[in-house]
Structure 1
Amino acid sequence: MSALQPVAITIGDPAGIGPELSLKVASTDSLMTDTPIVLIGSADLLRRVAAHLKIDVDIRTITHPREAQRRPGVAWVIDVPLDAQSVVPGELSRQCGQATVDAIRLSTELALAGEVCAVCSAPANKEAFHLAGHIFEGQTEIFAHLTQTTSFHTIMIGGPLRVSLISAHCSLLEAVARVKQPRIERIMGELHRSLREEFGFANPRIGVAGLNPHAGENGVLGSEEIEHIRPALENCRRQGMNVSDPLAADSLFWAAEKGAYDAVLAMYHDQGTIPLKRFGYVTYAVGLPIIRTTAGHGTAFDIAWQGVANAELLSRAAKQAESLALTKAQGPVN
């Protein structure tokens, strides 16, 4: 058993697959973390989902995370009020969006107070929390707002790969515009620090993808590598970071899979996510004052409450959160 405080799992959008996945991860021995899990969400909603899907689980409401135990077959829940009977599976709604944000807020408070060691988020629907008046790109941005964090990004973890992005959810034109030296240095610094403090690498090796085909071929296929990427990497090396030159992405990821690098810095969304998709991936929000992970999939309204959603990826996200919290608690490696 772990000596850590419990891991909190927010159950995501009540109308999506999050509640059923959360119940399975919280109560199935093979899916659980070594640390107790506490679910943050509507207990009535979870009971309704369990009954509907005939999930054999004892749902117990608690008031403090320390009451949770690691006990297969039991889900420990800190209740977030919701009119559970009015929730329609697979249907977008303002009340589900508000319940999602309420759970995020409570989990953040618990994490900042040290009452949970980490937070893992089941999938939420951004349209739903927009309907509730919370205009954010995603859950990570809500956590950042609640913790007053302005500098952050996500590391995606799948198979042997750990990947950070210079840009994520924006147009390709905007992604190119974001490939600038200050941004590259900031994200590289966050990535390097996290690899040391949360992943336990003493001298992390970071491979860097070029923006252009063949990393620009010395300016023949584009100048971004010369004007922005290389100067940023030179500054990072002066600060003691072990980073590569800009490399052709089509060979870089193969090398990373074979163990040449501990992480990869990619320049835009599809460049970094396509190599991860075949593994499935979880994400970790770097830069927040709390440990927070999530599964790399959505609410899947089309299969919500049907009992067919696979809980393995949310389980991986919860176990990753626990692992990161444990490594961070042990302190940076020398």
Structure 2
Amino acid sequence: MKTIKPIAITVGDPAGTGPELSLKVASTELLMPRTPVVLIGSAGLLRRVADHIGLEVEIRTVERAEEAKRQPGVVWVMDVPLDYQDVVPCRISKICGQASVDAIRLSTELALAGEVSAICSAPANKEAFHLAGHKFEGQTEIFAHLTNTTAFHTIMIGGPLRVSLVSAHCSLLEAVARVKQPRIERIMGELHTSLRQEFGLPNPRIGVAGLNPHAGENGVLGMEEIEHIKPALEACRRKGMNVSDPLAADSLFYAAEQGAYDAILAMYHDQGTIPLKRFGYVTYAVGLPIIRTTAGHGTAFDIAWQGIAKPELLSRAVRQAEELAMTKARLQHG
């Protein structure tokens, strides 16, 4: 195993499940990656959460990520200022939205400086972002803004499936409007490159979901497949990509589960995420100059601060970040 820098976990919305999930993953032997982990968030808030849920853990603040060690029962934190006594559990607020963004900003600075090898994000809340004046669709968009990245998307990984989306966090009406040839070509190209360079698949087979029921039935149920999707796929094939025609989504995912495809390109959020939910999934942000993953669930205010949130999915996201960082180190250093 090559030595890599620590993995950073941003603790997410202070009022949600992110803090307790982060504490559990960073301190529990069976959930920890092999690489040291440093939490990015309010140390005072984390102590408050640990006391509230009865989690026996020692929380130590550090000035530099490299001070973190892999030590079960101990959590290492780079402190982000927050009036943590003002946080109301399970309530969306401006201060929690700002705290989430502050943690993202610090983690990004650390990753760009090479002080952490990867970032994993605990769940944050988009409405809280907006209350704090940050009008982004989600955490990935904030990371992209902070790294001056314009071309990016996420690959969702769960069970036997890898899924990318042509559109993610927008209305269904806007999602349909985004099904255009240039966008499809760009995201397919990013997906294909990532599967080859980061997942080690020399000739990845990519199945493509149609937008309309039955992939439009040759124009009977919609023209998007004919006017936008097929021309994009033909252009991708000319570039050497192994991609299917637009296929009926309800049968495509089953075929991928049986091993027919290495990844799927879906046209909109729910089309791609619903089949993954039963596995639980993590996401990897393709196109950023840093490695960043997250778990495919939300802040779960209904169960936050009760000690019952299950940390296994966030653990998988941290380990996925570690695996990607290890692959990057191996390719860079041979």
Relative to the length of structure 2, the TM-score reads: 0.96
2:24 — aligned with what?
24
1:76 — aligned with what?
76
Are the aligned partners of 2:138 and 2:169 in contact in 1 as well (CA < 8 Å)? no
After superposition, what is the alpha-carbon deviation per residue over 1:70-109, rounded to whole angstroms, capped at 9, x for unaligned?
Answer: 1111111111111222222112222221111111000000
Are the aligned partners of 2:137 and 2:170 in contact in 1 as well (CA < 8 Å)? no
How many Å apart are 1:2 and its aligned residue? 5.0
1:257 — aligned with what?
257
* Structure 1: tracts of 5 or more residues without a match: none
2:284 — aligned with what?
284
1:245 — aligned with what?
245
How many Å apart are 1:174 and its aligned residue? 2.2
Paired letter, 2:85: Q
1:226 — aligned with what?
226
Cα distance 1:216–1:275, how it changes in 2: closer, same or farther (>3 A)?
Answer: same
Aligned residues: 332
Structure 2 distance, partners of 1:330, 1:149, is 25
How many Å apart are 1:53 and its aligned residue? 1.4
Identity across aligned pairs (percent)? 81
Structure 1 distance, partners of 2:115, 2:239, is 35
After superposition, what is the alpha-carbon deviation per residue over 1:291-319, rounded to whole angstroms, capped at 9, x for unaligned?
Answer: 11111111112221110111111111111
Structure 1 distance, partners of 2:285, 2:259, is 23
Is the aligned partner of 1:85 residue 2:95? no
1:102 — aligned with what?
102
* Structure 2: tracts of 5 or more residues without a match: none
Paired letter, 2:175: A
After superposition, what is the alpha-carbon deviation per residue over 1:231-284, rounded to whole angstroms, capped at 9, x for unaligned?
Answer: 111111111111111111111111111111111001111211111111111111
Are the aligned partners of 1:197 and 1:331 in contact in 2 as well (CA < 8 Å)? no
1:326 — aligned with what?
326
1:198 — aligned with what?
198
Are the aligned partners of 1:7 and 1:36 in contact in 2 as well (CA < 8 Å)? yes
How many Å apart are 1:116 and its aligned residue? 0.7
How many Å apart are 1:169 and its aligned residue? 2.2
SS in 1 for 2:187: helix
Are the aligned partners of 2:2 and 2:330 in contact in 1 as well (CA < 8 Å)? no
Structure 1 distance, partners of 2:212, 2:33, is 41
Cα distance 1:234–1:293, how it changes in 2: closer, same or farther (>3 A)?
Answer: same
Are the aligned partners of 1:285 and 1:291 in contact in 2 as well (CA < 8 Å)? yes
The correspondence of residues 160-239 of structure 1 with structure 2, limited to 5 A, is 160-239=160-239
2:39 — aligned with what?
39
SS in 2 for 1:331: helix
Are the aligned partners of 1:200 and 1:327 in contact in 2 as well (CA < 8 Å)? no
SS in 1 for 2:302: helix
How many Å apart are 1:18 and its aligned residue? 0.6
Cα distance 1:176–1:129, how it changes in 2: closer, same or farther (>3 A)?
Answer: closer
SS in 2 for 1:120: strand
How many Å apart are 1:288 and its aligned residue? 0.8
Are the aligned partners of 1:197 and 1:328 in contact in 2 as well (CA < 8 Å)? no
Cα distance 1:171–1:132, how it changes in 2: closer, same or farther (>3 A)?
Answer: closer
Are the aligned partners of 1:2 and 1:35 in contact in 2 as well (CA < 8 Å)? no
Paired letter, 2:172: L
Structure 2 distance, partners of 1:137, 1:210, is 24
